[in-house]
Amino acid sequence: MDPLLEISQKLQSDYFRRMQLLFILDLISVFCIVYAITLIFQMEYFLNKSSLDARIPINIIPPILSFIIAVIAAFLRHKNDHKIKFNLLIESKYPELKEKVRTAYDNISESNVIVDSLKNSVLSGLTIVSASTLLATSVVVTKIIIVMFFVSGVTVISSQPEKYTIPVETIEDNIIKITGGNGNETSEAVGSPEDFGQAGGFETKPKIATIEGKNIDLTIFPGYEQGVELVKESQIQNPFIKSPEFPVDIMGSNVSDGGYSSLLKKTETEKQLINKFAVERSKI
Amino acid sequence: MSNETYTSSNRIFKELFDEIGKVIVGQREAVEQILIAIMCNSHALVESNPGLAKTLTISTVSKALDLKFSRIQCTPDLMPSDITGTYIIEDVGGKKQFRFEPGPVFSNIVLADEINRASPKTQSAMLEAMQEKQVTVGNKTYTLDKPFFVLATQNPIEMEGTYPLPEAQLDRFLLKILMDYPTEQEENEIVNRYTKNIIPAVNKVISKNEVLELQKLTRDVPIAEDIKSRAVNIVIATRAKSEHIEYGASPRASIGIILAAKARALMSGRNYVSAEDIDAMAYPVLRHRVILTFESERKGLTTDQVISHILKTVK
């Protein structure tokens, strides 16, 4: 194998080994963060409360969920790692090798005085390149420290949950506050008994709704001699006004009373008789 | 031999510039581009105002390279045979016989001064010699000596009575070199040098064979694929529909940019082509191949400005 390719492959494998380590560290970090959140917010309690399939033990859902989120996050964070152009990475870290490395690689199969001299200079230049320069050891060490911090944090939280978790009542109260689900808004909107007026109508505080950027008052105001009129019982003189009598000569409407289905069950003779009756009846 | 020439190429180019610099004050870029065209085994077109030492520059280069130099002053009555040569009748032992008398084109470096003043027929003869590196007179074909380099000049003023080179002919020149007026400091130096009795002399730096070796080495300079793609994309961009460009450059321009960039890299002592070489050579390679629209010319845009814009946009 060409010595240039050999040294490059060695560097590349060292570099990607470090990238794999970073992937694992990121995965652990995200897992710790998400799992800590599930512990603090007592996810297990809420899962118990909800009607989940009883076959799955509730206590394993938070860690599994955290792990899945961690895998997705770490994958997204490192999805472009394999797309890194290694030669360009080397050139960016070592300006003295700028444009030389890729030229040497693109002409690896060529051989003449100039190409050979370029390959030699790149080869000697690559001897000073190390994976630790391409991916700084300080970055790896920092990530390890962060992971250790997160792991110890999760350990502390899970060992003393009563000290670090938020009480269920507080969470529920906050949820109600956030969602606004206290059930009192209807009576407020209608108005208290004091709001009822003297002039036959009722007055409420205006209930404003914003629809398509316009403020619309949703209060229903009574019209003249219409709507609800609140009066005291003693003041009622004619509690019932007799409606006009129903004229006897008016036929019923076409509203079905189930007669058609019962008609279908009749014999042919009965049907003819009914038909005849109806015709005669219509002449009255 | 190649190895020796390559290892000494740095020194050779440095000495060449120093030697030419004894006679030519300034014009470093023009001299560099002339040498690049020679290294690429191609030809160059120089456009400059009169009195900017075009002839002196090219004759100095030929002396430093130890090459045969000839100059053709193009005029409307110049005939193709005046360039290529012709058969003359001579008396040999009482017998009359034809003998071919080579024209000025049989040199290593030919300065075709004011080529646009020659008739199209003569221009064609000249350009054919440039392209084929051979001359056909009568039924016989004569191969021109190597290296063969033509430096044609055009005068941007006094366009009356000229026959501007057609675009297809212009495409045969690798570079169009612009020579500008010297700076005040340079002009003072010119005055000092050329108002004394001592005329600066030029020494030979390399031999003809070394020139040929350097021409071979130029083509050996490696180039990265992405840099090569950049050169090609620059040329393709000139062909894209644009408000500034009427006609773009041909694929010959892509070859020209890469070859000229290789020569520039070699002259700079680098064993690889840099993106900087491509950008630097895009101007002389493209400026005579790109034809601007009437609107751009009306606005006073120059080809170099349009090329600058293309270089900024192409990745």
| Per-residue model confidence as pLDDT tens digits over B158-202 | 667 778 888 878 888 999 998 888 889 888 888 888 888 777 788
Share of chain B above pLDDT 70, in %: 99
Coil, strand or helix at B276? helix
pLDDT bracket for residue A27 (50, 70, 90): very high
pLDDT bracket for residue A201 (50, 70, 90): very low
pLDDT bracket for residue B246 (50, 70, 90): confident
pLDDT bracket for residue A124 (50, 70, 90): confident
Burial of A84 (0-12, 13-18, 19+ CB in 10 A): middle
Tens digits of per-residue pLDDT, A251-272?
Answer: 555 555 666 667 677 788 888 8
Q: Check pLDDT > 90 for residue B129.
A: no
Identify the closest residue of chain B to A106 by CA–CA distance.
B224
From its phi and psi, is residue B59 left (phi > 0), alpha (psi between -120 and 50) or beta? Answer: alpha
Chain A residues lying within 8 Å of B222, measured CB to CB:
103-104, 106-107, 110, 114-115, 118
Q: How far apart are CA B53 and CA B72, in angstroms?
A: 16
Tens digits of per-residue pLDDT, B73-115?
Answer: 988 899 988 988 988 898 888 888 888 899 999 999 999 888 8
ipTM over 0.85: no
**Structure tokens, B19:** 């030697």
Chain B residues lying within 8 Å of A115, measured CB to CB:
220, 222, 271
| Interface subset of A 88-107, CB within 8 angstroms of B | 99-100, 102-104, 106-107
Q: Which residue from A102, A106, A117 is facing B271, i.e. has the nearest CB?
A: A117
What per-residue confidence (pLDDT) applies to A197?
43
CB-based contact (8 Å) between A78 and chain B?
no
Lowest average pLDDT, out of A209-213, B207-211, B297-301, goes to A209-213
Q: How far apart are CA A223 and CA A209, in angstroms?
A: 22
Q: Which residue from A106, A110, A113 is facing B225, i.e. has the nearest CB?
A: A106
pLDDT bracket for residue A221 (50, 70, 90): low
pTM above 0.80, yes or no: no
Chain B residues lying within 8 Å of A113, measured CB to CB:
2-3, 6, 217, 220
Q: Check pLDDT > 80 for residue B225.
A: yes
What per-residue confidence (pLDDT) applies to A274?
84
Cβ atoms A127, A4 nearer than 8 A? no
Residue range(s) in chain B whose domain bears CATH number 3.40.50.300: 1-77+107-219
A109 backbone dihedrals φ, ψ, rounded to 5°: -85, -10
What per-residue confidence (pLDDT) applies to A243?
67
| Close Cβ partners of B125 (under 8 Å, ≥ 6 residues apart) | B80, B83, B84
Q: How far apart are CA B207 and CA B31, in angstroms?
A: 18
Q: Check pLDDT > 80 for residue A58.
A: no
Tens digits of per-residue pLDDT, B11-60?
Answer: 889 999 998 988 888 888 999 999 999 999 999 999 888 888 888 888 88
Q: Which residue from A100, A112, A113 is facing B272, i.e. has the nearest CB?
A: A100
CA of B224, closest CA in chain A: separation in Å? 4
User: Cis before residue B147, ω within 30 degrees of 0?
Assistant: yes
**Structure tokens, A89:** 């990475």
* Four-CA torsion B238, B239, B241, B245, nearest 10 degrees: 50
**Structure tokens, A145:** 């420290």
Tens digits of per-residue pLDDT, B260-276?
Answer: 999 999 999 899 999 99
Q: Do B220 and A100 touch (CB under 8 A)?
A: no
More confident of the two residues B234 and B155? B234
pLDDT bracket for residue A191 (50, 70, 90): very low
Q: Check pLDDT > 80 for residue A208.
A: no
Ranges of beta strands (E only) in A188-236 are 208-211, 214-217
Position B5: which residue type?
T
Most B-contacting residue of A106, A113, A115, A124 (CB-CB within 10 A), to test interface: A113
Cβ atoms A36, A30 nearer than 8 A? no
Share of chain A above pLDDT 70, in %: 69
Tell me the β-bridge partners of B143. B134
Q: Do A103 and B273 touch (CB under 8 A)?
A: yes
Q: Check pLDDT > 80 for residue A249.
A: no
CA of A98, closest CA in chain B: separation in Å? 9
| Close Cβ partners of A256 (under 8 Å, ≥ 6 residues apart) | none
Most B-contacting residue of A87, A91, A99, A123 (CB-CB within 10 A), to test interface: A99
CB-based contact (8 Å) between B220 and chain A?
yes
**Structure tokens, A101:** 């490395």
The CATH number of B1-77+107-219, from 3.40.50.300, 2.40.160.50, 3.40.50.720, 3.30.70.380, is 3.40.50.300
Q: Which residue from A103, A112, A117 is facing B224, i.e. has the nearest CB?
A: A103
Any alpha helices (H) in chain B, and if so which ranges? 2-23, 28-39, 54-64, 80-84, 120-132, 167-170, 184-193, 208-220, 225-239, 251-267, 275-286, 294-298, 303-313
Angle at B224 (CA atoms; ends B223, B228), nearest 5 degrees: 80
Q: How far apart are CA A99 and CA B50, in angstroms?
A: 41
Identify the closest residue of chain B to A109 by CA–CA distance.
B222
CA of A113, closest CA in chain B: separation in Å? 6
Look over chain A and give the mean of its residue pLDDT values, rounded to a whole number. 76
Chain A residues lying within 8 Å of B220, measured CB to CB:
112-115
Q: Check pLDDT > 60 for residue A188.
A: no
What per-residue confidence (pLDDT) applies to B3?
75
What per-residue confidence (pLDDT) applies to A189?
41
Residue A262 CA: distances (Å) to CA of A267, A273, A279, B70, B269: 11, 15, 19, 124, 110
Domain B221-315 has CATH 3.30.1330.50: no
Tens digits of per-residue pLDDT, A63-106?
Answer: 899 999 999 999 998 888 877 788 888 888 888 888 888 899 88
CB-based contact (8 Å) between B3 and chain A?
yes
Cβ atoms B1, B207 nearer than 8 A? no
pLDDT bracket for residue B2 (50, 70, 90): low
Residue range(s) in chain B whose domain bears CATH number 1.10.8.80: 221-315
